[in-house]
């Protein structure tokens, strides 16, 4: 049996994209938990257990993989990564990041390739075949 991610985190400001991406991940049966945040700020709170995620009644798992939109209001994907780098030092197993975008700017992809935490840069919409390719390349135990 394939190993499931304990936690996949979707960081996307578009509700319909989140619903679509959740369904893809559920259909692939690769995650025990899928959490959705609609902003970079909310995602940082989730990871650091602050704000609405600071409750001691619920134990939120650390994400193993983050699907991150680049263009969001407030903290965008690039700014999220800079803040995440500061937080990940406290984690024994930091998450891997897949950046998602509709941007046609080739500089974005080049910038992403320079960031160790980013394992893939993909165009939206996400597809099952794209997720499977990411798993094959970076998470063989999950296949």
Kindly report the CATH number assigned to the domain that includes residue 23: 3.40.50.2300
Flag whether 36 is in a domain: yes
In a domain, 107, yes or no: no
What confidence tier does 2 reach under pLDDT thresholds 50, 70, 90?
Answer: confident
Average pLDDT, the chain: 92
Q: Is residue 2 part of a domain?
A: no
CA–CA separation, 38 vs 92, rounded Å?
Answer: 25
**SS3 (DSSP) at 47:** helix
Which whole-number Å values give the CA distances from 36 to 10, 12, 66, 69, in the listed order? Answer: 5, 8, 10, 12
Residue 140 lies in a domain: no
Q: Does residue 65 lie within any of the structural domains?
A: yes
pLDDT value at 1 more than 60: no
Q: Is residue 85 part of a domain?
A: yes
Question: Distance between the two ends of the chain, CA-based, in angstroms?
Answer: 8
**Domain contains 79:** yes
**Contact indicator for 141, 118 with CB cutoff of 8 Å:** no
Mean pLDDT of 101-118: 93
pLDDT of residue 57: 79
Model pTM? 0.94
pLDDT digits (tens, 9 = 90+) for 32-88: 999 999 999 999 999 999 998 987 678 889 999 999 999 999 999 999 999 999 887
Return the pLDDT at 91: 64
- Beta-bridged to residue 98, according to DSSP, are 67, 120
- Beta-strand (E) ranges in the chain? 8-11, 34-37, 65-69, 96-101, 118-123
The residues, ordered by sequence, that sit 6+ positions from 39 with a Cβ below 8 Å of its Cβ are: 11, 13, 72, 73, 74, 75
Domain count, the chain: 1
- Domain extent for 66: 11-96+112-119
Of the candidate ranges 61-65, 92-96, 121-125, the one whose mean pLDDT is the lowest: 92-96
Q: What is the pLDDT of residue 104?
A: 86
The mean pLDDT of 84-112, rounded to a whole number, is 87
- The answer to whether residue 26 sits within a structural domain is yes
pLDDT of residue 54: 87
Least confident of 47-61, 98-112, 122-136: 47-61
pLDDT score for 41:
97
């Amino acid at each position: 049996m394939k190993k499931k991610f304990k936690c996949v985190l979707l960081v996307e400001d578009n509700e319909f994209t989140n619903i679509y991406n959740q369904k893809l991940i559920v259909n692939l049966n690769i995650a025990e938990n899928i959490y959705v945040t609609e902003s970079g700020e909310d995602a940082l709170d989730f990871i650091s257990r602050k704000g609405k995620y600071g409750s001691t009644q619920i134990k939120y798992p650390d994400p193993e993989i983050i699907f991150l939109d680049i263009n969001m209001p407030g903290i965008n994907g690039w700014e999220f990564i800079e803040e995440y780098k500061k937080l990940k030092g406290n984690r024994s197993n930091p998450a891997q990041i897949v950046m998602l975008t509709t941007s046609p700017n080739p500089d974005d992809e080049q910038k992403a390739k320079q960031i160790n935490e980013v394992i893939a840069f993909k165009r939206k919409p996400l597809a099952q075949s794209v997720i499977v390719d990411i798993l094959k390349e970076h998470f063989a135990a999950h296949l």
